[in-house]
Amino acid sequence: MSNTATPSPVPPRASASRPTASTGARPGPAPDDKPRRFVFLLLDRFSMLSFASAVECLRIANRMSDRTLYQWHLIGEGGQEVSCSAGTTFKLDDDLVELTRDDTIMVCGGIDVQSATSKKVLAWLRREARKGIGVGGLCTAAHALAMAGLLDGKRATIHWENQDSFAEAFDEVDLTKSVFVIDGNRMTTAGGTSSIDLMLKLIADDHGEDLANAVADQLIYSSIRTDQDTQRLSVPTRIGVRHPKLSQVIQIMETNIEEPISPSILARDVGMSTRQLERLFRRYLNRSPKRYYMELRLQKARNLLMQTDMSVINVALACGFASPSHFSKCYRAHYDTTPYRERGTRGTRLSV
C-alpha cells in the first residue's frame, strides 16, 4: 500500500485542548531519524473505518510536514489478501513476518474477532511483544490482544457493544469506557473514529501538537477527544430527555445489571417517591421503570449470548435472572426467540 503523497503544507491552527504529557506511549523518532513504521495486522472482516482513520492520519502527517515521518505496512495471516467487514478486499504486503523493535503493531479487528484471531496470530503477537514492541488494538482487536495475554494488568478499552463479553472473559484486564487508552506500550481504541484520536495523540507526542492539530484540520475533525473522554453519548443525549433525576436512575440501572435494584430503592436513592419515579418513566420513556430495567438486562444478555461461549444459565445469572426458565420466558417475549435459538446467530452482528 503506497504511503507517498504530494507535499502541500498548510499552516497549523491554534492549539486545541489536548494533554501534553505522554501517557506511556513509546516515543517516536526525532525529526532527523528514520520514519516510524506502523505494521497493521488486518484480521478477517476488520473494520475499514477504524483502519482507514488511522492510516489517513499518518498520510496527512507526512504531507503536512513535507517529510516522511511515518510509514505503514499491511500484513495478515497468509500474506495474500483479506476482506474487511464491508466486503472490500485488501491486498497484503506480507505474511506474519518478523519485525524490529522500532516497529509499532496495530491489530485491526471487526466482526467476530474471536474467530478471526487464530492460534497462529496469537503466537505471532506473543513472539513480537516479547521484543518490547508497542502493540495496539483498533476497534474489537483489544479482544485479540487480551487473548494473547498482552493486556494482563493493563488498562484497556473496546467498542461499547463488546464491553460486556470482554469483561466476562478477561477479568485480569482493567476495562474502561474511554475513547482510547495508552498504558505503557499497549494501546486500545473503542472503534469507529476513535482511531483518529489515538493517532493524533501519538503524532502530538512524536512531533508536537501543531502538527497534530494541522492533521485534524485536514480531516475536518473539530472536536479532538482525549483518553479522558468516554465513548458513548451521555444518558440524556441517548434517551433524548434532559431530566437529571431520570438520567441518574438510568445510570444506576446500567451499573447494576447483575443484581437489579428495586424501583422503591431507586426512587429513594434519587430523593423521589416510587409513584413519582413511575410517573417520570411513563412521561418521558412511555414505560415503567421495571420494564425499562428489564430491557437493559435483556440487551446485555443478548450481547453475551452472541459474543461469548457462556452457558445460557450463566448469562441469565450475569443479567440478574434467578432461573433459566424465567430468563427464557422474558427473552422470548422481548425478542420473539429463545436464548438457545439466538445462539445460532452468534457472530453475525456488525462492529463499526
pLDDT at 29 over 60: no
Q: Distance of CA 208 to CAs 8, 13, 200, 227, Å?
A: 19, 13, 10, 17
> What CATH number labels 235-345?
1.10.10.60
Confidence of residue 308 (pLDDT cuts 50, 70, 90): confident
Q: Is the pLDDT of residue 15 over 50?
A: no
Q: What is the pLDDT of residue 239?
A: 67
- Among the CATH numbers 3.40.50.300, 3.30.70.141, 3.40.50.880, 3.20.20.10, which is that of 36-218? 3.40.50.880
Taking residues 257-268, report their average pLDDT.
94
Domain positions in the chain? 36-218, 235-345
Looking at residue 26, its pLDDT comes to 43
Specify the higher pLDDT residue, 233 or 192: 192
In this predicted model, what pLDDT tens digit does every residue of 325-352 receive, in sequence order? 999 999 999 999 999 888 765 443 434 4
Note the pLDDT tens digit of each residue in 276-291.
999 999 998 999 999 9
| pLDDT tens digits for range 93-147 | 999 999 999 999 999 999 989 999 999 999 999 999 999 999 999 999 999 999 9
Average pLDDT (223-241) is 66
Of residues 168 and 351, more confidence is placed in 168
Could you check whether 36-218 and 235-345 share the same CATH topology?
no
